[in-house]
Structure 1
Amino acid sequence: MHIHHLLDENSVANTFISELRNVEIQKDQMRFRRNIERLGEILGYELSKKLSYEPQTMTTPLGEATHQIIQNELVVCSILRAGLPLHQGLLNYFDKAENSFISAYRHHPNPYNDAEFEIKVEYLASPSLEGKTLILADPMLATGRSFVNVYKALENMGKPKEIHLVAVIGAEEGIELLKKEFPEDTHLWIATIDPSLNDRGYIVPGLGDAGDLCYGSKMQH
């Protein structure tokens, strides 16, 4: 797996990530969503450097100009619900991409053990992925099981030509799982990597539950 870590170099992305983590700024849901969207734009820009290009000539008012234009057939697939602002950030830059949406959530079969959970996938709306470039997006890469289960659920949609995973914050443990479960030539685009998970499988220091911070708390089922 090819890992592209945004914070290997300093940039304005540092500011957006620090605001996502800040417990006071988190109270502003609109700003939280916008910061994830902005990081989606930055990660999308970096990702675009690895796509395929061909020259295309267009007519200007004063002559002709030739530019290298993306040739990939892109499909942006986001994991509901925290993936929605990240999806929008990617779509702001890949506006001709097809769109796919899939649900993945933590199901706690034992109400007395919050640390025990499984990832359930219950909803999928997707075009064919055959021969296309799949961009699979989820802000939080904790255990990695959401990415893996979603990838397996997409198998019936066709075999993509290439796969790019996009996340805002990830844990080392989850990244190790992705290395085992995804094709070797998969690219992971991630803003920042944290060292560990707690006993409930949440990223430490992380930022909390991205879905709740984007859209409000939910009832568990």
Structure 2
Amino acid sequence: MASNVHISKHPCVRAKLSQLRSRSTNARETNALVHEIATMVGSDALAHGLDIVETGTDYSPLGYEYHTEHVSPERICLVPILRSGLSMIPAVQALLPSPVPVNHLGMYREKSTLQPVEYYNNLPYHKTDDPPAAELAIVVDPIIATGSTICAAIDTLRDWGVQRIIVISVLASEDGLQRAADSWPGAVELWVGGVDAETDDRGMIKPGLGDMGDRLFLTVGK
């Protein structure tokens, strides 16, 4: 794998992935496991991808002065890929010391070509007086299968003007992960809980986790 790919070696992540794979795991359990894995993988990603800067001084309850610190960069946004990326927002928001804007991207794969189709985008780049693009975009999507969707999201964010992207996922295929890593070398870092070798002819990871959106929102068999 490329140097900008980071696969979790945490034993608890591997055990939770095994639980998440099971078709007997219900929607509530699925949501909890995605949250827990996102917290562990996200913690590693942010430890690597953020810096700390002194911002001034304050006083403790006992009256002692201390230096205050904040994360850098200052302009960060969180970008969930609809639908299943919604499940990872609380975990990443809880890790950050302050709330950040959440800019949703809605994408689906066209069934015959497996190519991504964007159906929703609320990035604030449609007006000239909008604030500048985020310095860092944190993209959350539980699954990187063929890599087409995450590459399309990276292209969209790059066009918006972000300087760096951190992608946090629960599971990826080898080919999809490598494709995403090659999409913008030097600016994209990918952090995943686990990797499976391949996808099937439907573009689903084998053995994978199934359709995470359907599992999370009880729309299996729609």
Same fold (TM over 0.5): yes
The residue aligned with 2:86 is 84
Letter in 1 for 2:70: I
- Separation in 1 of the partners of 2:157 and 2:46? 23
Paired residues of 2:27 and 2:217 also in contact (CA < 8 A):
yes
Measured at CA, do residues 185 and 149 of structure 1 come closer, stay the same or move farther in structure 2, by a change above 3 Å? closer
* Equivalent residue, structure 2, for 1:14: 14
Q: Deviations over 1:153-191 (max 9, x none)?
A: 33443x112111111000001012112212333210111
Identical aligned residues as a percent: 22
- Residues matched between the structures, number: 209
Shift of the 219–101 alpha-carbon distance from structure 1 to 2, 3 Å rule, reads farther
Please provide the CA RMSD for this pair: 2.0
Task: Give 2:15's aligned amino acid.
Answer: T
Question: Which residue matches 1:185?
Answer: 187
In 2 relative to 1, CA 209–17 (structure 1 residues): closer, same or farther, beyond 3 Å?
same
- 1:4 equivalent in structure 2: 6
Once residues 179 and 61 of structure 2 are traced to their aligned partners in structure 1, the CA distance between those partners, rounded to angstroms, is 53
Aligned residues of 2:146 and 2:173 also touching (Cα < 8 A) = yes
TM-score, reference length from structure 2:
0.85
**Which residue is equivalent to 1:112?**
none
1:117 aligns with 2:114: yes
Distance change (3 Å), C-alpha of 1:208 and 1:219: closer
**Distance in 1 separating the partners of 2:119 and 2:5:** 29
Are 1:29 and 2:30 an aligned pair?
Answer: no
The match for 2:149 is: 146
CA distance in 1, matches of 2:143, 2:212: 7
Is the contact made by 1:98 and 1:127 (CA closer than 8 Å) also made in structure 2? no
The correspondence for 1:45, drawn from 38, 43, 46, is 43
Distance in structure 1 (CA, Å) of the matches to 2:30 and 2:196: 19
TM-score, normalised via structure 1 length: 0.86
